[in-house]
Structure 1
Amino acid sequence: MGRGSVQLTFSKRRVGLFKKAHEISILCGANVALIIFSSKGNLYEYSTNSCMERILERYMRNSYVEKTFPIQEPESQEDLCQEYEELKRKVDALQRSRRHVMGENLDTLSLTELQQLELQLETTLKHIRFQMNKLLLDSIAELQRKEKSLLENKIVLENKIIENNNAITMARQMQAKEQGRDQASSSTPPTLLLLNSLSTALPPWMLRPPS
């Protein structure tokens, strides 16, 4: 085939290809981008609504996501069965360990396994005692703090009681003094009262004693 025939065939096919791309974009509502380089290096392109850059950007973004986070194929039935068996073995082992810790089915253990279990229980018991002692110390510190607060409140209340008693005592003493003054003024002898009244009524020469 001559070079002229090749170029003619390329032109016809290119036009048909662009026409099909346009039909797909219209009929299916799809975004289509088509890039063609001829044998001579000429560029021919088609894009929906002339948005080639946006379509290429979307392509690059989706391509990056697929390469970075490849879609994992669903696990086969065989893989699921193996995973189930593995999980079942772990659950059975945990249940046996729990029974051994509770002191059950110990006859199935060897001497080495019993020694390991004893060491595990001793270590667990140490942790339990440490936590228990920590809680006890925290409780004692809290009680001591409350005791100190109560003692401080007691001292404050005692001082207030003393102040109130002193105020009551002073009030009673002042009342007693006032009552004493009132009684002293009301207990003056009648003769003295008479002389006082006469001294105000008679002239001074009649009150002089005889010479």
Structure 2
Amino acid sequence: MTRKRTEIKKIDNLSARQVTFTKRRRGLIKKAHQLSTLCDAEIALIIFSSTGKLFEFSSSSTEQVIERHINLHSEKSLNPSAQQQVDDIPCALRKDLSDRARELRHLRGEDLHELNLDQLNQLEKSLEAGLLRVSETKAGRIMNEISALKKKGAQLLEENKHMKMMVKMQEATRVPRNNHLSGDYDHSSAYSSSNFDTSLKLGLPFPQ
């Protein structure tokens, strides 16, 4: 069995009206607190009962929220076209996007039938100017790469020259050392053969 929907109208019974006011007021304040906590919203809630009693809830300060509300309405009244300008921004962006897309299609050679002769001449001049800039940029990149390759080639030649000099220096220091060692060997052999008599003699030695 479904619950019967309460008809929204003033409750004639005073006691029932007070009970309903207390329940709905608590529920409304609870919902405002949840909305402020979950969504980080700045909320100020002011309730006056039928007897003139004040009930309020605020996430920060009721006075600050009311002052902010008043200032916002004052700015709108001083500049009534501000909201209209804000509303016109998406339309302007969509129009600009459509124009840019159409220009891009024309640059690619598409949808040229919608252009007249003057527009075609202007498009041709724009393409020629763009092609000239592309060619100049390409030539500059090529020259930079050629200069870099020449610089690297000169550096490699210098390193090769340095390595050859190092090899020659090592060979020059190695040859005299070998010659010096062989000379020492021949001199010592000659010295030993000239100063020592290795012949065999028989008999007693006689004084000279």
TM-score, normalised by the number of residues in structure 2: 0.52
Q: Which residue of 1 aligns with 2:146?
A: 140
Aligned length: 130
Aligned-residue offset at 1:158: 0.9
Q: State whether structure 2 residue 202 is matched by structure 1 residue 194.
A: no
Aligned-residue offset at 1:160: 0.8
Q: State whether structure 2 residue 162 is matched by structure 1 residue 131.
A: no
- Runs of 5+ in structure 1 lacking a partner? 1-69, 205-211
CA deviation map 1:140-184 (0-9, x unaligned):
112222222221111111111000011111122222223333554
CA distance in 2, matches of 1:172, 1:155: 27
Q: Which residue of 1 aligns with 2:64?
A: none
CA distance in 2, matches of 1:103, 1:124: 14
CA distance in 1, matches of 2:206, 2:117: 134
Q: 1:187 to 1:93 in 2, by over 3 A?
A: same
Q: 1:158 aligns with which of 137, 159, 164?
A: 164
The aligned amino acid for 1:123 is A
TM-score, normalised by the number of residues in structure 1: 0.51
The aligned amino acid for 1:174 is H
CA distance in 1, matches of 2:206, 2:80: 140
CA deviation map 1:44-99 (0-9, x unaligned):
xxxxxxxxxxxxxxxxxxxxxxxxxx997364543334443333222211110011
Q: Which residue of 2 aligns with 1:109?
A: 115
Q: 1:108 to 1:202 in 2, by over 3 A?
A: farther
CA distance in 2, matches of 1:168, 1:119: 74
Q: Which residue of 1 aligns with 2:94?
A: 88
CA distance in 1, matches of 2:80, 2:174: 93
The aligned amino acid for 1:194 is S
The aligned amino acid for 1:178 is D
The aligned amino acid for 2:124 is E
Look at both structures and tell me which one has the larger radius of gyration over its CA atoms. 1
CA distance in 2, matches of 1:106, 1:194: 121
Instruction: Provide the identity percentage.
Output: 23
Aligned-residue offset at 1:186: 6.5
CA distance in 2, matches of 1:162, 1:109: 76
Q: Which residue of 2 aligns with 1:178?
A: 184
CA distance in 2, matches of 1:164, 1:146: 27
The aligned amino acid for 2:142 is L
CA distance in 1, matches of 2:184, 2:168: 24
Structure (1/2) with the larger helix percentage: 1
Q: 1:107 to 1:194 in 2, by over 3 A?
A: same
Matches within 5 A, 1:19-30: none
Q: 1:74 to 1:154 in 2, by over 3 A?
A: farther
- Runs of 5+ in structure 2 lacking a partner? 1-74
Q: 1:202 to 1:112 in 2, by over 3 A?
A: farther
